[in-house]
Amino acid sequence: MCSNVNIKTIYLPCIIYKSMIINMFLNKITKIIKPIVFQNYMLKKTFHRSVTKFTWKQPFINDPIEKELQSDKKYLYGNNSDTALQYNCSLNIHCNSHPLRRSGIICTIGPASADVKILEGLMDAGMNIARLNFSHGTHDYHLKTVENIRKAVKSYSEKIGRNYPLAIALDTKGPEIRTGVLNGKDASKEIKLNKGDTLRLSTDKQYENKGSNKLVYVDYENITKILKENDRIYVDDGLILMKATKIGENYIDCIVENEGMLGSRKGINLPGVAVDLPAISEKDKADIQFAADNDLDMIFASFIRDRCAVTEIRNMLGERNKHMLIISKIENHQGIQNLQSIIKVSDGIMVARGDLGIDIPPEKVFLAQKSILAQCNIAGKPGICATQMLESMTKKPRATRAESSDVANAILDGADCVMLSGETAKGHFPIESVRTMDKICREAESAMWRKEFYHDMVASLKLVNAM
């Protein structure tokens, strides 16, 4: 016997509603099928993973547009086609997108968005998860940000007359190499590097906060031991390329091979060079303890290479903090190779395309994105797509056409969340960036060929009784 699924129980974005795994299936599958037997099956399979209830995991009560969910079909763009080509032909740009977004939006909170009023604006625009990037800032700085976020949630909830479900995530620095701080107090300060310039990378800590266009600190002491002359060095997700020309005891002289703007604490990648960094650094351990002490909701674990790092973090959190979710960031080739085992011990996976696109060829990143998100879908674990999604909106009020397509295709690939980084952390248009992403996500969700997705999931999971 078939029956309509009660969509009221599944409309919130994946990571912000009850158990992430339950929501993954109820959000992505039960919303597109009718057999109640399938819903019961998934509940039995996943309910034991439910975690302690938090306010950000509760559904809105008496939402004024809840009634729109009952007429869900009118927001589906394509007709009931038999093939992908037929379905794409039937898509209609004049249809309205669904008023409720089912995917989540993660916003990185930084100098441009840490103010309470701006945070309220981000929530009003559609922010679901506030991300704190611990590659930057001190614990005191982030504690103030957490306090502002909670003030903003309380204030905005009172304003709209219901609790606003917002999660707070801590993104670890991870076993990565970063530059130091540029000389000056402005956190968003940048210096211009021109092609042919000579730049010295120093491991001398006296230069940690004195970066210039002549010398920049690097926080990896052994970099002078593992690099050779003529080795390539990628900075800031590969935006700046340098070549090592001279290696001293505590410095490397480089020649800049392309023009670019360099900011503070930017990541450094050394493709093809083996580094001896620990999976969980001492800084990461202190930051994870900060998350536990301040009752944050999830950890975005950077540069996860195997399941051992995830297990180590979970052991650190202990029984008292078992409610905290661990999202593993896949940022290198080793993480892709060990993805299946990482998925099993993680609460979710992030496709961190910036560093990933340096460790593997850039033209292969879209393949990795599709594969990782598909494996997350089959495993019932939320998948997040991140990096440069609306990058141009850091300085401009409108996204490029390519960026709009990128966000939409991430949703069509099966992403449960999409993430904004510099757009909301340091950009000039943080609220507009979230509004833009919200509109694109709703359009993409309405354009998804749900019939195909349902049959793919049933076939992949061998759920013959759901047909």
State the catalytic residues. Answer: 131, 178, 329, 387
CA pair distance 403, 384, nearest whole angstrom:
16
Is residue 128 within 8 Å of residue 103, measured between CB atoms? no
Q: Measured between alpha carbons, how far is 173 from 301 in angstroms, rounded to an integer?
A: 8
Neighbours of 246 (CB within 10 A): 12
The count of C-alpha atoms lying within 13 angstroms of the C-alpha of 340, restricted to the half-sphere facing its C-beta, is 1
C-beta of residue 342 within 8 angstroms of C-beta of residue 349: yes
- The two three-digit tokens of residue 366, written as one number: 């879209």
How many CB atoms are located within 10 Å of the residue 352 CB? 27
Contact 345, 308 (CB under 8 A): no
Residue with tokens 């905290």: 324
Question: Measuring CA to CA, which residue among 104, 113, 186, 105 is closest to residue 148?
Answer: 113
Six-digit token string for 269: 């990648």
Q: At what angle do helices 365-379 and 450-461 cross, to 10 degrees?
A: 70
Could you write out the DSSP letters of every residue in 306-333? SHHHHHHHHHHHTGGGTTSEEEEEE-SH
Does the CA dihedral 456-462-466-467 come out positive or negative?
positive
Which is it for the CA torsion 215, 219, 224, 228, positive or negative?
negative
Determine the 3-state secondary structure of 452 from DSSP. Answer: helix
The amino acid occupying position 13 is P
Rounded CA-CA distance 242/244 in Å is 7
Q: CA-CA distance, 48 to 184, in Å (whole number)?
A: 51
3-state SS class at 158: helix
Which letter, b or e, does each residue of 250-275 get, where b requires 16 or more Cβ atoms within 10 Å of its Cβ?
ebbbbebbeebebbbbbbbbbeeeee
Residue with tokens 């060829």: 361
Residue in this structure with the two tokens 């919130």, named with its chain if needed: 12
φ/ψ of 413, rounded to 5, equals: -75, -15
Q: Sheet of 251-256: strands edge to edge? A: 177-178, 267-269, 232-235, 240-247, 251-256, 198-202, 215-217
Confirm if 313 and 326 have CB atoms less than 8 A apart.
Answer: yes
